[in-house]
Amino acid sequence: MSLTVWLSLLAASVVISFTPGAGAINTMSNALNEGWRRAVWGVIGQQLALIVHVVIVAAGVGLLVARSPLLFDVVRYAGAAYLVFLGIRMILTKPTSEPDAAQTIRLPESRLSMVRRGFWVNLLNPKAIVFFLAFIPQFIRLDQPALPQYLILISTVVIVDVIVMWFFFAAAAKPFRRLTRTPRGQRILNVVFGSLFLAVAGLLLFVH
C-alpha cells in the first residue's frame, strides 16, 4: 500500500470514526457510568467487531449479506432489537439514592461485560458490512498480496477508532460525570442515553 493510498485511508477512517452512532453512544455511556479509563474496555469490544466486519467482507460473506434481503433484514432486526433492549434497560434503571450511595458500594461493571456489549453493539449493524463492502475495495489492490494490505487497513481503522472513541467521545462525557452523583442527574443521563439508543435503533430499522 503506497503512502498516498494509506493517507487516503487514514483520512477516511477519521471521518468514519467521528460519525456519531451506537458505538459513540455506548462509549460515552460507559465513560459516564464507569469512568474514562474503564471506558476503554467497551472500545476494545467495538474494535473486535470492526475486525470481524473486515474479515466477513474479505471472505465474501459480506457480499452475500448485502445481496440477500432476508439475511440483511435478519441482522438488521437483531441489531435494532439489541439497541432497543439497551435503551429500555437504561431508561428503567433505578437511580442510586444518596442515602443508599452512602451505605453501599456500587460494584463496577466487569471488563468482560463491557467488552461483550461493545462487541455486539458494533457487530449487529448490517450497514457497517455494506459500508465496508464499498470502503475496502478503494484501498485494496488485487495485483498485490492481500494479507499485508488487509493488516494495514485493519490496523489503521482500529487505531483511529480507538483514539477517536476514547480520547474524544469518552473524554467528552467527563464534564457530565458530576450528574451521576445525584439521583436526578442519574435519571436524566439514563433517559438521554437510553433514548439515543432507541433513536439509533429506529434509524437502523427505517432508514435504508
C-alpha cell read off for 45: 469490544
The pLDDT tens digits for 164-191 are 998 988 888 887 777 667 778 778 877 8
By residue count, the chain amounts to: 208
Domains in the chain: boundaries: 3-10+22-206
Cα 36 to Cα 161: distance, rounded to the nearest angstrom: 16
Q: What angle do CA 63, 46, 60 make, to 5 degrees?
A: 15
Within 8 A by CB and 6+ apart from 67, the residues are none
The pLDDT tens digits for 71-99 are 778 877 887 888 888 889 878 877 765 54
pTM above 0.85, yes or no: no
